[in-house]
Amino acid sequence: MYSCYSCGKTYSLLEPRWRCDCGGFLTLPENAPFHRETFANRGYSIWRYRESYFLPPQAPSVSLGEGWTPIVSERIDGMEVRFKLDYLMPSGSFKDRGASVLVSLCKALGIEELVEDSSGNAGAAMAAYCAIAGIKCRIFAPAYTPDGKLIQTRLYGAEVVKVPGTRQDTNDAVLRAAAATYYGSHLWNPYFVQGHMSAAFELWEQLRGEVPHSLILPLGSGGYLEGIFRGFRTLHLAGLVRTIPRLIGVQAHHCRPLHEAFLLGLDEGAPVEVKPTLAEGIAVSRPPRAAAVLEAVRRSGGTILSVSEDSIRAAHGLLLRYGFFAEPTSAVALAGWLQLPPSERENSVILLTGHGLKESEKIAKMHGL
Ligand SMILES: [Zn+2]
């Protein structure tokens, strides 16, 4: 059963629905099933934990083997820190976790065509999973989006619809299209969030039950953070962990609606002036699920930081020196970690979210090559 975060109205999971009639976003129950004995003999992908996603029983696993990304330990600034390399995914970003689960739901509902608006990792991930599921995928993007950003999406076979005008015009166009098809939105759909729970389950298994003090990740729309929180809540409710990590979301200073909201104690994203940032992947000025994301950060005892463009560039350079070829957006997490007082840096895991090969030309320019 879906329920609306704003008004509490409930809907059947078999309805092809992406938000409440009141305009609020939908959530799934918090008490997801999680039984060690059911997954012990399964392979190492996010589908090891399939019962936890609340998919209809007839849902297939639309999978490219995503998940179980490595955790690598390094010493930076005299302190040990672990990185989870979530950029090592089939389409090159953590978004494969969400896309795999959402497209599996679409398959179960008999959806033959969907629309989505993303010119970045989410669009590429949705295009990849729709391709293998045989679902027609149309990705809407503002006309000003450079063609290079949409190549991967196009090559997977998705139709790209460029919309003249602002980001809001693209948003309006995709909603009009959604009225006749299905809106497979990485920003709105709770099943996209549900897929991200797998990162928490993997951390728990890979670290053999140890719970890190902090998890630090780039924060844009916040679906990744919300999903990881839900994953650790599931483990907690199952009696498998006593505490959950502090979740520390990091935004770019140039686009920080959630950072401002956190500082001001708001339950919604704050209106902010947005400037261009190297961390394009998290430049989301009005995240629709902001209320759930802020709640997750607060309940975990975590915080939201913002970092400057210079510190993103420097942190990205540091990642390269350690051999991590991540996209610039991923570097905000390390920049955030470096901003913490040393006592709060201990026992942290930093999540690296997108592959640098997607943006090698931008990275070359960024470092003066
Ligand atoms: Zn509602």
46, amino acid identity: I
The rounded percent of the chain whose pLDDT value lies above 70 is 100
308, amino acid identity: S
The reply to whether 197 and 172 lie within a common domain is: no
Question: How far does residue 264's CA lie from ligand 1's centre (Å)?
Answer: 25
Cα(48)–Cα(173) distance, integer angstroms:
37
User: Averaged over 338-363, what is the pLDDT?
Assistant: 96
User: Averaged over 269-296, what is the pLDDT?
Assistant: 96
7, part of any domain: no
pLDDT band, very low/low/confident/very high, at 167 (cuts 50, 70, 90): confident
Look up the domain containing 219 and give its range: 71-94+189-366
Given a cut of 90, whether residue 119 has pLDDT beyond it is no
Question: How far does residue 17's CA lie from ligand 1's centre (Å)?
Answer: 12
First to last CA, the chain: 52
349, part of any domain: yes
The reply to whether 241 and 148 lie within a common domain is: no
Question: How far does residue 223's CA lie from ligand 1's centre (Å)?
Answer: 19
**pLDDT tens per residue across span 204-253:** 999 999 999 999 999 999 999 999 999 999 999 999 999 999 999 999 99
pLDDT band, very low/low/confident/very high, at 154 (cuts 50, 70, 90): very high
The reply to whether 210 and 88 lie within a common domain is: yes
- What pLDDT shows up at residue 326? 98
Question: How far does residue 25's CA lie from ligand 1's centre (Å)?
Answer: 7
Q: How many domains are there within the chain? A: 2
Question: How far does residue 1's CA lie from ligand 1's centre (Å)?
Answer: 14
Question: How far does residue 290's CA lie from ligand 1's centre (Å)?
Answer: 15
Given a contact cutoff of 8 angstroms between Cβ atoms, the answer to whether 49 and 34 are in contact is yes
The rounded percent of the chain whose pLDDT value lies above 90 is 95
CATH for 362: 3.40.50.1100
The reply to whether 119 and 156 lie within a common domain is: yes
Cα(1)–Cα(106) distance, integer angstroms:
16
Given a cut of 90, whether residue 148 has pLDDT beyond it is no
The reply to whether 81 and 127 lie within a common domain is: no
pLDDT band, very low/low/confident/very high, at 131 (cuts 50, 70, 90): very high
Q: Which of 156, 178, 200 is the last residue of a domain?
A: 178
pLDDT band, very low/low/confident/very high, at 201 (cuts 50, 70, 90): very high
Q: Which of 127, 144, 178 is the last residue of a domain?
A: 178
- What pLDDT shows up at residue 202? 98
The reply to whether 230 and 204 lie within a common domain is: yes
- Give the H/E segment covering residue 338: helix 331-339
Question: How far does residue 349's CA lie from ligand 1's centre (Å)?
Answer: 36
Question: How far does residue 23's CA lie from ligand 1's centre (Å)?
Answer: 6
- What pLDDT shows up at residue 168? 86
- What pLDDT shows up at residue 181? 94
308, part of any domain: yes
Question: How far does residue 296's CA lie from ligand 1's centre (Å)?
Answer: 20
Given a cut of 90, whether residue 40 has pLDDT beyond it is no
User: Averaged over 22-48, what is the pLDDT?
Assistant: 94
Question: How far does residue 175's CA lie from ligand 1's centre (Å)?
Answer: 18
The rounded mean pLDDT for the chain is: 96
